[in-house]
Amino acid sequence: MTALSWLSQFFLNTLFLLILYLCQRLWFQQSRAWWRKRRWPLAPHLILFIGLMAGVAWVFHFHYAYLPPGLWWLYGLLAVYFIGSIPAAAVWGLWLGLRRILLRRPPATAADMGRRRFLNSAAGACALAPLACAGYGFLIERTDVRITHVSIPLERRFAHLRGLTMAIIADIHLSPYFDARDLARVVARINRLRPDLITILGDFISFRTTIPVVMQTLAPLRARYGKFGCLGNHEQIKQVQNRVTRACAGVGIEILRFSGRELAIPGGKLNLMGVDFFANNRCQDVRSIAGCVRPRDYNVLLSHNPNVFSHLGAMPIELTLAGHTHGGQIRLHEGPLDITPVELVTPYIAGLYRNQGRYLYVNRGLGTVMVPIRFGARPEITHLQLG
């Protein structure tokens, strides 16, 4: 990590902690005032709030690393509060400021009083909306896997590949929030699509202990030209690149690690290549794959990090497939409005991108990291067709 990226990371973390502190302070003051109005003893309020903050620290610091058995739902609810309470505090804080300016004078009439009560309730409902969205993202959208159908145009010289289909998945991150049963359903849906080729774009795991169950569940996948994959940052973090590569080979999935595999398709060839995960400041190293590129074939690159797409240089790679972003995982995308934390690290969040006749497809992944919530970024199986 360079000094500059360390500094920017430090600045972002400090800013986030400051925002988190201000939001929680507001909720503490508001809930205390509400509690006091009811003349309830204040000690239980303090104990409850300290408990809630300990839960927030659990979510913020440990992620899924310490999930006591049977308590996955408690972690989920705390994550809903953690994510929802920040925008909720922004809305409620804004309303408190407005109220102080606009409603300075005491209400003159009963109608005035009624109007104020209505405005207060409306602001409360607006402040609750982010919590409701986070709850929806935890309970519904997290496992609502969708199949996306994509068609990639082909140059005439690759006409032999017209109609070839590929099923793509990424970021399995097996955990209590996307478990073996969820993955088995994905495997069954892929097999029903009868793809010619299957690619799995890294982050098979979040925890070492799940490698055997992930592989067992992926084993029934079937495709005419085979099953291929590349490794993600979580295989790197857990230092299980070799273990996952071997385990994949055991269930017929070939992991391409700075290597290529020429597939003989009737009428021509398709050259499939894969690279290990590159951190954002090392994406230019993708050019180390140059020796595997076959200029006369249709070249497809598997890379967990989509940012390599900006660094392909003159390499004739027609199609790059990536994951890593989880489609933003939490993304507010409506018309021109597009907000997701993932925007801080990549311009390639989800879907199809085109640059100088070359294509990149970014799959939204299946599992989650940090918080078991997906909003505006449903888990995805891509069904891609050439031609």
The CA distance from 291 to 299, in Å, is 12
Write each residue from 85 to 114 as x if it is in contact with Fe ion (CB under 5 A), else as -, in one continuous string. ------------------------------
**Min dist. Cβ of residue 324 to Fe ion (A):** 6
With tokens 């273990």, the residue in question is 243
**Min dist. Cβ of residue 369 to Fe ion (A):** 6
Write each residue from 125 to 164 as x if it is in contact with Fe ion (CB under 5 A), else as -, in one continuous string. ----------------------------------------
**Min dist. Cβ of residue 52 to Fe ion (A):** 28
Q: Using the 8-state DSSP alphabet, how is residue 19 labeled?
A: H
Helix (H) or strand (E) holding 146: strand 146-152
Q: Residue 106 corresponds to which tokens in the numbers above?
A: 């005491």
Q: Residue 45 corresponds to which tokens in the numbers above?
A: 């309020």
Compute the chain's Rg from CA coordinates: 25
Per CB under 5 A, does 203 bind Fe ion? yes
Helix (H) or strand (E) holding 214: helix 211-218
Q: Using the 8-state DSSP alphabet, how is residue 60 labeled?
A: I
Q: Which segment (59-67, 91-99, 200-208, 375-383) binds Fe ion by CB under 5 A?
A: 200-208
**Min dist. Cβ of residue 65 to Fe ion (A):** 15
**Helices (DSSP H) in 334-382: which residue ranges?**
none
Q: Which segment (34-42, 79-87, 182-190, 201-209) binds Fe ion by CB under 5 A?
A: 201-209
Of residues 78 and 369, the one with the C-beta less far from Fe ion: 369
Name residue 36's beta-bridge partners. none
Instruction: Give the footprint of Fe ion on residues 163-182 (CB under 5 A).
Output: 171
Of residues 203 and 380, the one with the C-beta less far from Fe ion: 203
**Min dist. Cβ of residue 323 to Fe ion (A):** 6
Q: How many residues bind Fe ion (CB under 5 A)?
A: 2
Judged by phi (left if over 0) then psi (alpha if -120 to 50, else beta), residue 78 lies in alpha
DSSP line for 122-145: HHHHHHHHHHHHHHHHHHTGGG--
Least Cα distance to 365 among 171, 161, 154 occurs for 171
Per CB under 5 A, does 235 bind Fe ion? no
**Min dist. Cβ of residue 211 to Fe ion (A):** 16
Of residues 89 and 183, the one with the C-beta less far from Fe ion: 183
Interface residue list for Fe ion (CB under 5 A): 171, 203
